[in-house]
Chain A
Amino acid sequence: MFSTLLIGLRAALVTLVLTGVLYPLAVTGLSQALFHEEANGSLVTHEKGQVVGSALIGQGFSRPGYFQPRPSAAGNGYDAAASGGSNLGPTSQKLRDRAVAEAGRLRQENPDAPGPVPAELVTTSGSGLDPHLSPEAVRWQVPRVASARHVAPERILAVVDAHTEGRTLGMLGEPRVNVLQLNLALDRRFGESVGTTAEAP
């Protein structure tokens, strides 16, 4: 019995060093050498060279000249150090109230938008850091962005189309647009969005 316990302790320490220290350190070393950018957060820089975010992590946008992402349940919204969803169930009063309020706000801010509000824009994602929107949810916002930037909607649509990613291998996942990359592209093309914020920041 005692010898079994002793082997147990030794085996625990040996496997801990092998899989808990050597393995992650080796992978870290290889990753830093082979995929330096990805391993460190796929950071996106502004044209002035300043880091403005990660290509994989969503961030909040509220100015009318920017496309707005989905609502976020991460911290106080797009807190990339506190990921998470709302976890509100399908019969939750809180979820209903939030969706109704968000839809009302969106309808008010987008008087010229075509058709009903896409559900994506009133639902939170699983991580609270969803960097994407479906092409439909982006197109729905085009009239607002175009009028805030005083640009013809067709020119905005052209940028949207250029930033739409299809399904991987033609079938995996969903078509999507990266909101940060899209807004950066708008700034490059039409100048920075300086319009007033839609609501108190």
Chain B
Amino acid sequence: MTLLGWLQILLFFALVLAVTKPLGLYLFHVFEGPTQPLPKVLGPVERVLLKLCGVDPKREQTWVQYTLSLLAFSLFSVLLVYLLQRLQHVLPLNPQGFAAVGPELAFNTAVSFTTNTNWQAYGGESSLSYLTQMAGLAWQNFVSAAAGVCVAVALARGFTRRPGPEGQKTLGNFWVDLVRGTLYVLLPICTVYALFLVSQGVLQNLAPYRELTTLEGVKQTLAMGPVASQEAIKMLGTNGGGFFNANSAHPFENPTPLTNLVQLFSIFAIPAALTYTYGKMARDTKQGWALFAAMSVLFFAGVAAAYAAESQANPAVAAAQVAQAGNMEGKEARFGISASALFATVTTDASCGAVNSMHDSFTALGGLVPLVNIQLGEVIFGGVGAGLYGMLVMVVLAVFIAGLMVGRTPEYLGKKIEAKEMKLSMLYVLIFPLVILGLGAVAAVIPQGVSSLNNAGPHGLSEILYAYSSGTGNNGSAFAGLNANTPFWNISLGLAMLAGRFLMIIPVLAIAGSMVGKKTVAPGPGTFPTNGALFTGLLVSVVVIVGALTFFPALSLGPLVEHFLGQAGKVF
């Protein structure tokens, strides 16, 4: 580890900290303000869009209507992305003449982008047309992120709305939230962001691949495409599905250390800002900062561990008796150890899943960090929206545990947390390991599972665990040696992604629906304050205990065993 390496990490965090309040306020105005920003310019556009969708913006929805709207939208999302891939050979903007994507892969990719996972079983530059990338993948990058924010905002409304005399039962309107999130937040930022990326060297064209002869006379084909427009929303929406197979390691996606910093920043920007938005909605910004603090503690723990581990020599390369200043297998020279370890931590703290180095080639403990980050539920800033609602479920658990300790009915923001909310929270918590460990166990013993592995020994188990953690956690990064483009993996990971998105969103919205109508009571002397350092500490413990204890046995058979065997010089 070097001082400059740590300075990069601190600079990144300072930028995130600086944007949290202004962007958080902006988001508050977009979703909760009586009027939205730029009413003269964007107001008419919003009204036209809602009219085209056939939505009455004044009609509020109950949690059931809100959920059904989200499910209906997601259904057509999957269908349209599937059709675009299956028909790409007859649709325009396919200069390389790629054939239709096969049914299992098209299903996997459609689900992957609709669920904000962006798992890449496909190789972008070798199988998808420009139209599929733009109208299929970039489209879902926008709206799946916006949908995540919708769920977070709905849950926040559930906790923070004060019911009227007859008891308010509604959570807002999904369609209005969806359109506002896209129009006021994602689209304008991405337009500027994409142009910045192009200025640094990211591609943005619709030309066929460029053939050339290298200096030594060898033919080289440069993949082309509308990369920057997709790259911007890929990072800002914590999607993470790369235009190219190598994702943000590819110099045409992430050409300079500056683009790398901006990409990192854009992963955390909205999730961090949403904690402030939440504090505003709770009429006590300290409530938001308490969440921000808990997330920050976990972030720094992760990045320190990953950076320390990747600064060690790679044991497999050690036999070549070369000068190792860290593990450079799978890393780019322009980023080096620090910016690669930081990227791996940030992309898995959030549910982004973009990579600027290959996690599969990390040291055993370096690769453990992204895996654990995902398994903690991606609540460390987390996905756009998904991080906040995931963390709020952890808050419910923490408040419940605090209530047990003092022997009082737990309450949060003045509303009582009762058996129903606890059951729903536990459902949310349990679905996650059930899918990961259940499917992982199956894949580890059947030939269709293990035949896809790229690495033998304990690292093979890590590849399986990572795949299902990433899919169920809607992350999308990978131990990418695993050949995931087989019918078994495409279908099982597709199902894991669906479960990880919708089976977890439904309990969240049910909690919102159950909380929204509850009366608020003034805090008494026995109320456990949820806006201070004590609560932040308790919240961090709950996140770590729930996540770590669930997965520790599996992790000890993968990365931990591999670490000790690697130190002993064993290879597989």
Contacts and interface: CB of A to CB of B under 8 A. Distances in A.
A, B from the same assembly: yes
A51 B49 CA distance: 46
A70 interface: yes
A38 B141 CA distance: 24
Interface in B227-262: 228-230, 233, 244-246, 249-252, 255-258, 260-261
Interface string B443-483: 00000000000111111001000000000000000011100
A12 interface: yes
A172 B54 contact: no
B103 interface: no
B552 interface: no
Interface stretch (B273-281, B417-425, B563-571): B563-571
Given A99-B320, A173-B339, A84 B54 contact: no
Given A91-B570, A120-B333, A167-B4, 10 more contacts: A11-B53, A15-B179, A31-B205, A35-B199, A38-B201, A52-B214, A57-B252, A91-B572, A132-B332, A174-B339
B551 interface: no
A7 interface: yes
Interface of B: 4, 7-8, 11, 49, 52-55, 65, 68-69, 72-73, 75-77, 80, 123, 125-126, 134-136, 138-139, 141-143, 175, 178-179, 182, 186-187, 190-191, 194-195, 198-207, 209-210, 212-216, 218, 220-224, 226, 228-230, 233, 244-246, 249-252, 255-258, 260-261, 313-317, 319-325, 327-336, 339-340, 355-358, 360-364, 367, 454-459, 462, 479-481, 562, 565-566, 570-572
Contact of A85 (B4, B319, B358): B358
Contacts of A89: 316, 360-361, 364, 367, 455, 459, 462, 479, 481, 562
A93 interface: yes
A172 B363 CA distance: 23
A176 interface: yes
A7 B49 CA distance: 12
Nearest to A173: B257
B220 A53 contact: yes
A95 B367 CA distance: 16
Interface string A121-139: 1111111111111100100
B69 A56 contact: no
Contacts of B566: 90-91
Contacts of B201: 38, 42, 55-56
Contact of A173 (B143, B256, B329): B256
B332 A127 contact: yes
Contacts of B141: 19
Interface in A51-85: 51-63, 66, 70, 74, 78-85
Contacts of B565: 91
Given A59-B220, A91-B458, A172 B53 contact: no
A43 B210 contact: yes
B53 to A, nearest CB: 4
B481 A130 contact: no
A88 B356 CA distance: 16
Contact of B316 (A39, A88, A130): A88
Interface stretch (A21-29, A141-149, A151-159): A21-29
Given A27-B226, A130-B251, A32 B333 contact: no
Given A59-B215, A91-B315, A173-B334, A23 B175 contact: no
A160 interface: no
A85 B330 contact: yes
A133 B572 CA distance: 30
Nearest to A115: B323
A110 B179 CA distance: 61
A92 B202 contact: no
A45 B72 CA distance: 52
B363 A90 contact: yes
Contact of A7 (B72, B322, B562): B72
Nearest to B460: A89
B7 A173 contact: no
22 contacts: A7-B72, A8-B72, A9-B76, A12-B73, A15-B139, A23-B191, A58-B251, A61-B215, A74-B246, A78-B220, A81-B126, A82-B126, A85-B246, A86-B361, A89-B462, A90-B562, A116-B323, A119-B328, A126-B340, A128-B246, A168-B257, A174-B334
B562 A39 contact: no
Given A91-B572, A127-B250, A127-B332, A81 B209 contact: yes
Given A18-B182, A183-B215, A54 B339 contact: no
Contacts of B11: 171-172
A140 to B, nearest CB: 9
B65 A4 contact: yes
Interface string A93-123: 1011001101100000000000111111111
Nearest to A126: B249
A10 interface: yes
B245 A7 contact: no
Contact of A132 (B8, B179, B313, B334): B334
A6 interface: yes
B214 A53 contact: yes
B344 to A, nearest CB: 11
Contacts of B362: 90
B260 to A, nearest CB: 7
B196 to A, nearest CB: 10
